[in-house]
A and B are shown apart, each in its own frame.
Chain A
Amino acid sequence: MQRLDVPHVFRCHIPPKMIKLIGVLVIAVGFGLRLNPLLVVVAAGIATGLSAGLPFHEIIAQFGRLFVENRYMTLPVVLIVPVIGLLERHGLQEHAERFIRNSRLATAGRVLLLYMAVRQIFIALGVKIGGHAEVVRPLIAPMAEGAARARYGALPDQTVQTIRAHAAAAENAGNFFGEDIFIAVGAVLLMKGFFDAAGVNVGVWPMALWGIPTALVAFAAMGWRCHRLDRRVARETAAANRPRGKGAS
């Protein structure tokens, strides 16, 4: 996933071979037409490979090699879903929901924002505590839904979907915009490696510290979204619970 091809980077003065962009076009058109993403991705890869002069077999072999190399992306999901499924069958989501009902201050938005803050702080210290399969599905999404239910009663399906989508958004935003502050993993080391290879002297600490302003902005932006989410939940549940026949006012 993190391929660094530093020497190739400085070739920009060579006249561009526009035909190589055909893969990008395939992606844009394919996703735009809502074709099966797997098919679109393979077609884009084959088109790009052929345009770069690779034989068909070679492209397929590349797909095979890189598919195996990136198995680590699928590993956590497959290992975690059995235990999460087991716990959900014994009421984990119901428990998370009941737990949050005891708090009068809780709203869907506040639950998600608090989660994002915790996620951001921990990842900035180099500790990964979240994850969509590990935490969001079994705990955070039910807690956010539970907080909304405790306030407004039954939720329309559309509202549930919106809350869950925002739970995933809080996980992603918290993950991405905290990570760069920690110097010993991932992004900062990658940037350092790039600059070392390019012969530019840059320290890891300035890069990590200059990640902080954006981390704060990200938190504020998510705060705004969570506030909007709460207002939306209130509006949608009010509309759904309004007795029929009184007309739309």
Chain B
Amino acid sequence: MNLITLEAFYVIVGIVLLLVAGRIAADAAHPKRWGSALFWALLAVTFLFGRAIPPVVTGYLVLAMVVLAAAKQVGRSSGAPGSSPAERTAHEERLRHRLLWPALLIPATAVAGTLLLARVHFGSVRLIEASQAALISLSLGALFALGLGLWLTKAPVGTPLAEGSRLLQTIGWALILPQLLAALGGIFAQAGVGEVIAGLLAAALPMHAAFVAVLAYCGTMALFTMIMGNAFAAFAVATGGIGLPFIVQRHGGNPAIMAAIGMLSGYCGTLLTPMAANFNIVPALLLELKDRYAVIKAQAPVAVVIFIANLLLMYFCVYRF
């Protein structure tokens, strides 16, 4: 039994999202008033009652959100940002380094909480579940920082909500893309998509050549990661289908070297794919970039260089050590 679970923070997120929906519904000047309000309200429902309502109902709620987004009914409020540069500079001159305290409190709480909270228990009752320590600590950090920020700036409680709502609308419907992609990854895994590709590759390539086995494995890791948006999901398929049978069993390669460098080849794929939306698409929107794919474009040369280096590293090391 755990005293604090992630579910409590999901409820807080649900309330925040509901307030965002409420602000939009109350904003007569919002260009996509009702579609946007409905979108955020539906998302709020999945956070507030996700565990309670049957998955098929959640599924249709998600489908409704997708239809709203695809029909261009989800938009940002037309209003200008809540502050002018002059105002911000004036505040900055007053607050100076104190502005950094809340921003630094988030990672500080996250680190301290991750290290300490999971160890706290009262008899058989634990404070938190160890596997959730990082997320709970980060969430606590955000809440503490909010408290500290409000105290330092003397801003009304409505300000963080207004600013948060503005930032969330900047991200817009893409906020749910990572969750949706994770769901797609699950469906791909269930249908055995990876196994089909691995099987095709293994049959088509001349695996008796040691270098081809390395190329096929690293390439599969990167390719699957690009398709699934997640190197962890690709690892089992690529390693089971190509890595173990060919590099380890056929050519006697070192499994530790293969796995380590193989996983990092997968990460090169992560840098290249819109399917890893939480790393590549959401940040582009969060940084207010015009091109949704700008982050991927900035990363592409790095990813290619690292991938080639991985290929050579694995080829020269995996059969030697």
Contacts of B237 in A (CB 8 A): 9
Q: Report the interface size for chain A: residues with CB under 8 A from the other chain.
A: 128
A233 to B: closest C-beta gap in Å: 13
Within 8 A of A (CB), among B81-132: 82-83, 85, 88-93, 95-97, 99-100, 102-103, 106-107, 110-111, 114
A94 to B96, alpha carbons, bound, how many Å? 10
Evaluate contact between B50 and A48: CB separation under 8 angstroms.
no
Determine the chain A residues whose CB is within 8 A of the CB of B65 once the complex forms: 38
Q: From A209, which residue of chain B is reached at the shortest CB distance?
A: B260
Given A4-B236, A12-B195: A76 and B181 interface contact (C-beta under 8 Å): no
Q: Does B25 contact A (CB under 8 A)?
A: no
Which of the segments A103-111, A134-142, A239-247 contacts the partner chain?
Answer: A134-142
Taking the complex as formed, is B1 at the interface, i.e. its CB lies under 8 A from any CB of chain A?
no
A127 at the interface (CB under 8 A from B): yes
Q: How many whole Å from B222's CB to the nearest CB in chain A? A: 13
CA distance A186 to B277 in the complex (A): 19
Bound: A180/B114 CA distance, A: 18
- Interface: A33 (CB within 8 A): no
> Per DSSP, are chain B's interface residues mostly helix, strand or loop, or mixed?
helix
A36, CB-defined interface residue at 8 Å: yes
With a CB–CB cut-off of 8 A, which chain A residues contact B99? 87, 90-92, 95
Nearest-Cβ distance from residue B160 to partner chain A, whole angstroms: 4
B133-183 CB contacts (< 8 Å) to partner A: 134-135, 138-139, 142-143, 145-146, 149-150, 153, 155, 159-164, 166-168, 171, 173-183
Q: How far apart are A64's CB and chain B's nearest CB, in angstroms?
A: 3
- Let me know if A238 is at the binding interface, CB within 8 A: no
**B306 engages A214 (CB within 8 Å):** yes
| Inter-subunit contact A195/B259 (CB<8 Å) | yes
- Decide: A61 near B59, CB < 8 A? Known: A9-B241, A173-B299, A210-B257: yes
When the two chains form their complex, are residues A81 and B178 in contact, meaning their CB atoms are under 8 A apart? no
Least CB separation from B132: chain A residue: A72
Q: Which residues of chain B from 275 to 298 have a CB within 8 Å of any chain A CB? A: 275, 277-284, 286-291, 294-295, 297-298
- Selected from A59, A82, A134, A195, the residue in CB contact (under 8 A) with B164 is A82
CA distance A208 to B99 in the complex (A): 38
Q: Which of A20, A41, A175, A202 has the most CB of B within 10 A?
A: A41
Tell me which of A85, A94, A128, A186 contacts B167 (CB under 8 A): A85
B240 contacts the other chain (CB 8 A): yes
Set of chain A residues within 8 Å of B100, measured between Cβ atoms: 92, 95
> Which residue in chain A gives the minimum CB-CB distance to B88?
A91
- Cross-interface CB contact of B230 among A1, A13, A77, cutoff 8 Å: A1
Residue among B161, B171, B298 making CB contact with A165, cutoff 8 Å? B298
CB distance B63 to A217 under 8 Å? no
Cross-chain contact A86 with B55 (CB below 8 angstroms): no
Q: With the chains together, A208 CA to B256 CA distance in Å?
A: 9
Given contacts A42-B63, A165-B295, A168-B283, are A202 and B175 in contact (CB under 8 A)?
no
Candidates A83, A171, A200, A225; contact of B302 at CB < 8 Å:
A225
Whether the pair A191, B263 counts as a contact (CB closer than 8 A) is: yes
What are 18 contact pairs spanning A and B, CB under 8 A?
A11-B199, A23-B187, A67-B180, A71-B46, A77-B171, A83-B106, A85-B160, A86-B155, A87-B153, A92-B100, A168-B295, A168-B298, A169-B295, A173-B302, A175-B279, A191-B235, A210-B257, A214-B264
Task: Please give 11 more A-B residue pairs, beta carbons under 8 A apart, in addition to A48-B184, A164-B287, A169-B298.
Answer: A18-B196, A20-B193, A38-B65, A63-B58, A68-B51, A82-B164, A127-B111, A166-B298, A173-B299, A187-B232, A203-B256
